[in-house]
Amino acid sequence: MIIKNICCIGAGYVGGPTMSVLAEKCPNIIINVVDLNQERVNSWNSNDLNNLPVYEPGLAEIVKNCRNKNLFFSNLIQEKIKEADMVFISVNTPTKKKGLGAGKASDLKWVEACARQVAQYSSGHTIVVEKSTLPVRTAEVIKSILKESKKQNIGEMPLKTFDVLSNPEFLSEGSAIKDLLIPDRVLIGGENNDAINSLCEIYKNWVPEEKILTTNIWSSELAKLTSNAFLAQRISSINSISALCEATGANVKEVARAIGSDSRIGSKFLNTGPGFGGSCFKKDILNLVYLSEFFGLPEVAAFWESVVNLNNWHQNRISKLITKKLFGTLSNKKIVILGFAFKANTNDTRESAAIQICKNLLEEDAYLVIHDSKVAYKQIEVDLEKKVLNSHLTNNDDSKISKGGNWNYTQDLSGIFNDADAVVILTEWDIYKSINWEVVSKFMRSPAWIFDTRSILSPIDIKKSNLNFWQIGDGLL
């Protein structure tokens, strides 16, 4: 089956960039991205390309080239499903907040709604592709909904038939377009070879054939969860070793370099930090935990849950350590927080380690001044569940007393170190690497501390100032 018309349900972080790259690489295919959210659709159609709902380097140029040629964004869900030979499901699948599997399982209500829409509005043969990260055996849910609609094929109506494929995304924020253009692999799981081939042919327009892996549908679904779980596990592993380095006098960077030189281990994803964040890692591991429990494998569940537990412990370890170094109390103390995003080059704060660490410091009555040039203060307000303190930044001691347990926000580094007792680096933004600490130290209140959780500063540079310095995983400091 040669695909001429695609409909993607969901114009979010996954659907938008993926379909934009598909449109650019397959000019002969008409691609309609549909979404219930009219505001989001309007932003995708906005003339101001700086205003797209998703920021990714390279995305705006592709949208500019393809939009209204073979790439269209709308809320015409019914009409566009009907026209499509292939429907991608790219809707949100957050962790369930209540009911069965609360706190672990993914909420599939949006996926189920999509399957029902496809069952109702499609015509002829339709290949349905799962794109969102989904728990293993979701394809079965989709299939059984579609099967019901097949039963409703009646009389003169043209026969509806379906195939379901799993084609998980492996996009990392900040490099999503590069990940799509030059993927490590494309994974396609399915039962029907014709349907698998139809999707392979699309990818072959720009992806070398040997990078397109085909599997059965359950392996594909499980590979996606496992991939993220393995990546997160590496981070928890190196973070656990950072604590041991601090206790023993070893240096985690040296340990990481030594183990990373073993080609079986590899050097990537071994940077210690304040704990992993982002929308996927925790959610996917908890899904794996839920699945393992569901299938009667408590030991497997406990193994993977320990990766998340370690991450939580590690975040709390950092805030406790800060409190201890500042004589066990943070009241009347001003702490500058450098970075709130879950990693550099994104404005996303979902599951950012900064959230828990800042909450803990506020609980200890610290006054925080939070800097992040990409994250909006309103987002921080939501994350910390606490309103920003609307007062001017001042370096006067009395004001610190009245501000205890509160926070302020700034996008400007100048003046924020005045009278601060400590600086905590939580996101590895480049601008923090070039701060002149010798100058900054003159404005801070002695004894002043720098806590570098991203290991981006050079201890030699800091030594030139009279600042106390803690760097994650360095046992000699």
The candidate with the shortest Cα–Cα distance to 90, out of 162, 34, 27, is 34
- Residue 269's binding partner out of ligand UDX, ligand ADP, none, with CB under 5 to 8 Å set by partner kind: ligand UDX
In the complex, what is the shortest distance from the CB of residue 334 to ligand UDX, in angstroms, rounded to a whole number?
A: 26
Measured from the CB atom, the residue of 9 and 128 that comes closer to ligand ADP is 9
DSSP bridge partners of 32: 7, 72
In this structure, how many other beta carbons lie within 10 angstroms of the beta carbon of residue 470? 18
In the complex, what is the shortest distance from the CB of residue 6 to ligand ADP, in angstroms, rounded to a whole number?
A: 15
Q: Which stretch binds ligand UDX (CB under 6 A): 112-120, 215-223, 227-235, 412-420?
A: 227-235
- Residue 162's binding partner out of ligand UDX, ligand ADP, none, with CB under 5 to 8 Å set by partner kind: none
Residue nearest to ligand UDX according to CB distances in the complex = 278
- Residue 40's binding partner out of ligand ADP, ligand UDX, none, with CB under 5 to 8 Å set by partner kind: ligand ADP
Cα 42 off chain centre by: 24
Residue 42 parent element (H or E): helix 38-44
- Residue 343's binding partner out of ligand ADP, ligand UDX, none, with CB under 5 to 8 Å set by partner kind: ligand UDX
Catalytic residue among 24, 56, 130, 169: 169
Q: Does 270 bind ligand UDX (CB under 6 A)?
A: yes
In the complex, what is the shortest distance from the CB of residue 235 to ligand UDX, in angstroms, rounded to a whole number?
A: 5
Which residue in 32, 198, 271, 287 binds ligand UDX (CB under 6 A)? 271
The candidate with the shortest Cα–Cα distance to 145, out of 114, 179, 123, is 114
Q: Does 187 bind ligand UDX (CB under 6 A)?
A: no
Measured from the CB atom, the residue of 37 and 193 that comes closer to ligand ADP is 37
Catalytic residue among 131, 224, 374, 400: 224
Specify whether 381 is catalytic: no
Measured from the CB atom, the residue of 224 and 253 that comes closer to ligand ADP is 224
d(CA 440, CA 465): 9
Residue nearest to ligand ADP according to CB distances in the complex = 12
Beta strands 71-74 and 422-425, pairing class: unpaired
- For residues 145 and 112, the answer to whether their CB atoms sit within 8 Å is yes
SS3 136: coil
* One-letter amino acid for residue 64 of the chain: K
Q: Does 53 bind ligand UDX (CB under 6 A)?
A: no
d(CA 365, CA 5): 58
Catalytic residue among 280, 334, 343, 351: 280
Residues that bind ligand ADP (CB under 6 A): 9-15, 34-37, 40, 77, 90-92, 110, 113-114, 132
CB proximity list for 37: less than 8 A, separation 6 or greater: 11, 75
- Residue 384's binding partner out of ligand ADP, ligand UDX, none, with CB under 5 to 8 Å set by partner kind: none
Beta strands 71-74 and 449-452, pairing class: unpaired
In the complex, what is the shortest distance from the CB of residue 32 to ligand UDX, in angstroms, rounded to a whole number?
A: 24
- Residue 35's binding partner out of ligand UDX, ligand ADP, none, with CB under 5 to 8 Å set by partner kind: ligand ADP
Q: Does 34 bind ligand UDX (CB under 6 A)?
A: no
CA angle 34, 39, 44 (to 5 degrees): 60
Measured from the CB atom, the residue of 172 and 312 that comes closer to ligand UDX is 172
Q: Which two tokens stand for residue 257?
A: 């370099």
- Residue 22's binding partner out of ligand ADP, ligand UDX, none, with CB under 5 to 8 Å set by partner kind: none
Cα 383 off chain centre by: 15
Measured from the CB atom, the residue of 113 and 321 that comes closer to ligand ADP is 113
Beta strands 334-338 and 86-89, pairing class: unpaired
The candidate with the shortest Cα–Cα distance to 46, out of 16, 8, 9, is 16
d(CA 390, CA 365): 17
- Please, what sign has the CA dihedral across residues 143, 147, 148, 149? positive
Specify whether 169 is catalytic: yes
In the complex, what is the shortest distance from the CB of residue 35 to ligand ADP, in angstroms, rounded to a whole number?
A: 4
Number of H helices, E strands in the chain: 17, 14
d(CA 185, CA 256): 26
Q: Does 273 bind ligand UDX (CB under 6 A)?
A: yes
Specify whether 280 is catalytic: yes
Q: Which stretch binds ligand UDX (CB under 6 A): 124-132, 163-171, 364-372, 430-438?
A: 163-171
- Residue 271's binding partner out of ligand ADP, ligand UDX, none, with CB under 5 to 8 Å set by partner kind: ligand UDX
Q: Which residue has the tokens 């656990």?
A: 240
Q: Does 220 bind ligand UDX (CB under 6 A)?
A: no
Residue 202 CA: distances (Å) to CA of 159, 183, 212, 270, 394: 25, 14, 11, 35, 59
d(CA 160, CA 157): 9
SS3 39: helix
Q: Does 354 bind ligand UDX (CB under 6 A)?
A: no
Measured from the CB atom, the residue of 231 and 321 that comes closer to ligand ADP is 231
- Residue 113's binding partner out of ligand ADP, ligand UDX, none, with CB under 5 to 8 Å set by partner kind: ligand ADP
In this structure, how many other beta carbons lie within 10 angstroms of the beta carbon of residue 169? 22
Measured from the CB atom, the residue of 145 and 196 that comes closer to ligand ADP is 145
d(CA 429, CA 7): 37
What are the residue numbers of the active site? Answer: 169, 224, 280
Binding site for ligand UDX (CB under 6 A): 169-173, 228, 231, 235, 269-271, 273, 276-278, 280-281, 342-343
